[in-house]
Structures are given as C-alpha cells and as structure tokens.
Amino acid sequence: MGKVAPLKRHRELGLAALIVFVTLVVSSFDLGFLATGNLRDMMVRCAPTAIVACGMMLVIVTAEIDISVGSLMALTAAAMGIMLSEQHWNLSLWIGVPATLLLGAGVGLTTGLLVTVGKVPSIIVTLGLLTALRGATTLIMQGRNIGGLPTSLTRAAKEGYGGVPIGVWVACSVLLMTYVIIAWTPIGRRVFAVGSSRYAAAMCGLSERRMKLFAFCYTGFLTALATLVEVPRLPKIESGIGLEFELLVVTCVVVGGVSITGGRGTLLGVILAVILMTMIRPVLTFLEIGEQAEKWTNAIQGMFIAVAVIGDSLLRPPNRGGSSA
C-alpha cells in the first residue's frame, strides 16, 4: 500500500496540473472562458458523467465493469417521460421520480445478480444489456419523441436553485456521499478489499457477492439519478439519449487512475478526469480553430486514455504486474 500511494498522488497531481495549464492557455486566448456563465455551463456538462462515474468507480474497483449505463440512461429517460409527461400518464413527481430511481436500481440489481449468482462475466451481461435495453427503449417509445415534461422538473434542471442547475447540486451530493461511503464506512473498505484480492477477502469473511451487488445497484441508481437531472434540460426525449455514454464514463474512471483489474483508485482522480474530459469540447470551441477542431474530440479523448495508462505502466514499480520480461 505504501508503495502505491505516491503513484496515486502523481496521477492526481498530473491531472490537476493539466487542467490548470489548459485553463491558463485558453483564458489567455479568450478571458470569456473564465466567465461565470461558461464555468457554470461546464459544471452542468460534467454533472451526469460525474454522478455515474461515482458508481462505475466502485464497480471497476471490484474488478467488474458495466458498459450498459448509456442504454440504461435511455431506458430510464423513456420511462420517466412516459410516467411524467402530460401527453402520457401525467403522474405526480412524487410517484414518477422514485419509480425512475427504482427502475435504475432494479436493472443494476439484475446485472449484479447475473454476475454474482449467474456467474456470467460482467462484460458479457452488460454488453447484452447494452443492446437489449436500447432496443427496449425504442420499443416503448414507439418511434416517437416524448415532450411535455412537468415545468417544475425542467425548470429545476435548467435554472435550478441559487442560479445553479440542480444537476450540479446533485453531483456534489453524490460525490460527497460516495466519498463518505469509501472513506468512512466499512462498505468502502470491503469494496476495495474484494477488488484487490477476492481470495484474501473471502478468507477474512467478506462477501464478494454482496459488495458486487451493492456496486452494480448503486451504479444503476446513480444512472437513473443522472437521467432525472440531465434529460429534462433537453428539448425532448429521444431514443438516442446516452449513446456511447458508457464509454465516456469508463474512460473517465480509467484516466482517473482506477485500475481495471480492481482494488485501486481514488475518487479525487476520477473527478479530475471527469473535468478534464468534459473540458475538451469547450476548449476546442474557445480556441476558435474553427469547425475542424471539434471533429478531433474523439481522437484527443483516445489519446488521453493512452497517455494515462502508458504513464502508469512506465511509473509502475518493477515488482508490480511487470514481473516478466
């Protein structure tokens, strides 16, 4: 543990330095980058990714993966729309919101059960759900977009409280909650224990199954929560919501220094990576290199992952992982 700690700090320092550097460069071109309006926009953009990344981090720390969150976002968005829209069931917020959250948690729990009880590898389960949930979404939306969400919901998502949209508040609370879980509760320590060595954890009497169920269920719940704060900002609900969202979230978690083989990672790293990844597009816009630049967003995102993991590999002490020539 002591050997790994400085490495972790390297990662967070590196990310923070990169964010500061990019911010300085861009604001020297155009001070508008630091204007309150723009900063607020960027925080709003970060919010859904940050919320789901908290859950994904726990899943990856237990050495599993969940690539179905994008499709789950679409499914919960469609369910939310049908329940709350005045053109459909027009239910009260007090029923619709908990039901949406329950749906997300339920799908997460199902994933967890298939992984732990069914012994199906998580990448297979969530690959299947990635396809199936997207199909289910288009089925229940019947090719039509859903509009007419209650104004209280859309107003909270767009304007929010104290000038800050509700998504940012929710993201902050989720980060705080996840931090508390990881740092101060036994659950957090058990999640890391299961991820670093399942056999050692089992010998200590920890239930691998329960920890993984918790991580998947939490991720499903957070995905539904992200949907609730993000989707009402959009003009209408389409079936394409959340396409490739899972890849963005996994990217952020990996760039944030969470080991894909489990047991290692910090929340701070993940948050910094989320900020860095969401900055790419606004930065390209602000640099005013023209339309051309935005087409490179994907390439830059890929480069960040490559640099992050290669850096890890070069900094890795020789006795960890690189045991062979």
Partner 1 sequence: MSRLRGSNFGAWHELVLLGLLVGLLCVAGYLMPGFLSLRSQLFLSRHLWEFAILALGMTLIIVAGGIDLSVGSAMGLCAVAFGMTFQATEQIWLAIFACGLTGLFGGLLNGALITRFKLHPLIVTLATYAAYRGIAEGISQGQSYSRFGDAFSQLARATWWLIPIPGYLFVGLAITTALVLARSTIGRQIYAIGHNSEAARFSGVAVERLRLGLYAFSGLLAGLATVIYVSRFDTAKADAGKGFELDVITAVVVGGTSIYGGRGTVMGTVIGLLLIHETRLFVGRYWRVDELKSVVVGLLLIVSVLVYQAFMRRATGSRH
Q: Identify whether the C-beta of residue 269 lies closer than 8 Å to the C-beta of residue 15.
A: yes
- Closer to partner 1 by Cβ: residue 5 or 310: 310
Q: What spatial distance separates the first Cα and last Cα of the chain, rounded to whole Å?
A: 24
Total chain residues near partner 1 (CB under 8 A): 46
Least spacing, CB of residue 49 vs partner 1, in Å: 15
Query: Among residues 28 and 292, whose Cβ is nearest to partner 1?
Result: 292
The stretch near partner 1 (CB under 8 A) out of 156-164, 189-197, 199-207, 296-304 is 296-304
For residue 313, state whether it binds partner 1 (rule: CB under 8 A): yes
Q: Is 240 in the site for partner 1 (CB under 8 A)?
A: no
C-alpha span between 2 and 20 (Å, rounded)? 28
Q: Are residues 171 and 51 in contact, defined by beta-carbon separation less than 8 angstroms?
A: yes
Rounded to the nearest whole angstrom, what is the least distance from the CB of residue 226 to partner 1 in the complex? 21
Query: How many other C-beta atoms can be found within 10 angstroms of the C-beta atom of residue 203?
Result: 9
Cβ proximity to partner 1: between 64 and 230 the closer is: 64
Number of H-type helices and E-type strands within the chain: 14, 0
* Closest among 54, 84, 90 to 69, alpha carbons compared: 54
Angle of helix 166-184 relative to helix 186-196, nearest 10 degrees? Answer: 70
Please tell me whether residue 47 binds partner 1 under the rule CB under 8 A.
no
Spatial CB neighbours of 319, under 8 Å, sequence gap ≥ 6: none
Structure tokens of 43? Answer: 């925080």
- Smallest gap from Cβ 94 to partner 1, in A, equals 31
Is residue 282 part of the contact set for partner 1 (CB under 8 A)?
Answer: no
Residue number, 174 or 223, with CB nearest to partner 1? 223
x/- contact string, 109-138, with partner 1 (CB under 8 A)?
-----x---xxxx-xxx-xxxxxxxxxx-x
CA distance 123 to 15: 28
Per-residue binding letters, 49-78, with partner 1 (x by CB under 8 A):
----------------x-------------
Minimum distance, C-beta of residue 295 to partner 1, in the bound complex (Å): 5
Q: Is 297 in the site for partner 1 (CB under 8 A)?
A: yes
Q: Are the C-beta atoms of 284 and 294 separated by less than 8 Å?
A: yes
Cβ–Cβ under 8 Å, residues 164 and 44: no
Cβ atoms 22, 279 nearer than 8 A: yes
Least distance (Å) from partner 1 to the CB of residue 198? 10
Q: Do 8 and 268 touch, CB atoms closer than 8 A?
A: no
Binding letters toward partner 1, positions 75-114, x by CB under 8 A: ---------------------------------------x
Contacting positions for partner 1 (CB under 8 A): 65, 114, 118-121, 123-125, 127-136, 138-139, 247, 250-251, 254, 260-261, 292, 295-303, 305-306, 309-310, 313-314, 321-322, 324
